[in-house]
Structure 1
């Protein structure tokens, strides 16, 4: 593969699977044959449940809640051998053992050496989960030292007043060489956008499936389309690719 996107966060219920599905759909629209999706969540296998994305289930934890080396090595083989883009959704229960395994085995550096650009996508959530998600972001940056996209998920409460405020936070200032972009999931009306998005995710549907569905009103489809366009425009602006990955890694080495 040319790029691998790992969606990771130590706090559960903050939108990891939703972000994984957005990334998969975004890249599928660019090249339907190039995207390979993997669900490594040992508890909530919600990414796998989105049938149209053809997600492979990988049980990376054994009965002792340790990384199953055989299963994870098989995943790495697939990431290396397949062409295109890999999307890996990781669960909160495997967050600590996965970070340790990636670190101890130099997985990110190894993937880079094979010509693969590696991006982590870490959601932050407002409200009571904010502190936990910030701590997890800091752990990812410190452990993996790879290009990272921060997703400000405002659906459960405003993370920050605006994106510029995140730039003022210590975790950004200390790691700005690694943070290659920020995606802002806006705080829309809970009675309209919120209901529509929750209905889409509860039914394990993609944006295209919603557009073709008879169970959504016309205005619900319009709101979901607006949401999709807003996120896709932000991803377009990030222009994630090998050139940016190389620049980011070089900045970190010089820091």
Structure 2
């Protein structure tokens, strides 16, 4: 019994010391800043969007001091593992391939649809040229679909490839495509069937940062329980977006 009590006391002290350290530590959140409405830079040049709102609230509940860092998508995982920031909050889907390199929290956006958008509903999405952002699960899907994959560094570049005629269609998160299609005044339309990919979107972390992962997981759980996440999803993605039940 004494051994158990002593172990408990040591663990409690260690947890208290670790918590004190985390209060002093600034946690850097890496995002792309170019994937609305998930994340983007507003008119003041600050990170904005659904993930800014969620990330700030997560840090508040986890009692962490956080700052935002922007990074290009194609190097966002390498710059996490090399220590340039401490977590990725950038519309990153949870996949088995990525989990070989980094860890993820539970998802803060449930698994949702990916869709094709084109200048015509008759666009060839099975054998044509399909634009997708490099390093995404959508790009991986296109590569295996039989269509010709045309990869671009940013989401905006994939849209430009369609409107310029360089690509027959774009394949991306439907939540990102909806405002793009709506803003095109009829120039772009959805085509084909929606596709379910990935295990939802989570926070990416280095495999060694287990304490930080636990803190974020606990905060996400509380935000799901009190409806905060669902309210933010509806605010940024509209009333028809997939929410947590």
Q: Tell me the TM-score normalized by structure 1.
A: 0.28
Relative contact order: is structure 1 or structure 2 higher (C-alpha 8 Å, sep ≥ 6)?
Answer: 2
Higher strand share: 2
Q: Tell me the TM-score normalized by structure 2.
A: 0.28
Higher helix share: 1
Larger Rg: 2
